[in-house]
Amino acid sequence: MARWIRAQEAAALLGVHPSRISVLLRQGKLTWRPDPLDARVHMVDAEQVQAILNERRELYGDRESEAAGEN
């Protein structure tokens, strides 16, 4: 069973602006569903967010994760 996190939390984990999450949704890289408590809030699959993080670490090493931590 998938674990779902708020899109805003996903943006923070990825170190990107929340609008970038919308781009990832349109590209089909993230699956979403409405928050059961607030349909205006997007929930995204945490495993897919982790996969994007892993892919970035493979490409860029820890440079990107270190830069994201500085913000």
Residue 71, pLDDT > 70, answer no
Which domains are delineated in the chain?
A: 4-70 (1.10.10)
pLDDT at 2: 80
Find the mean pLDDT for residues 1-29: 95
CA distance 11 to 7: 6
3-state class percentages of the chain: helix first, strand second, coil last, to nearest 5: 55, 20, 25
- Predicted pLDDT of residue 62: 72
Q: What pLDDT digit, counting tens, does each position of 24-69 carry?
A: 999 999 999 999 999 999 999 999 999 999 999 999 887 655 555 5
C-alpha–C-alpha distance, residues 54 and 13, integer Å: 12
pTM, rounded to two decimals = 0.78
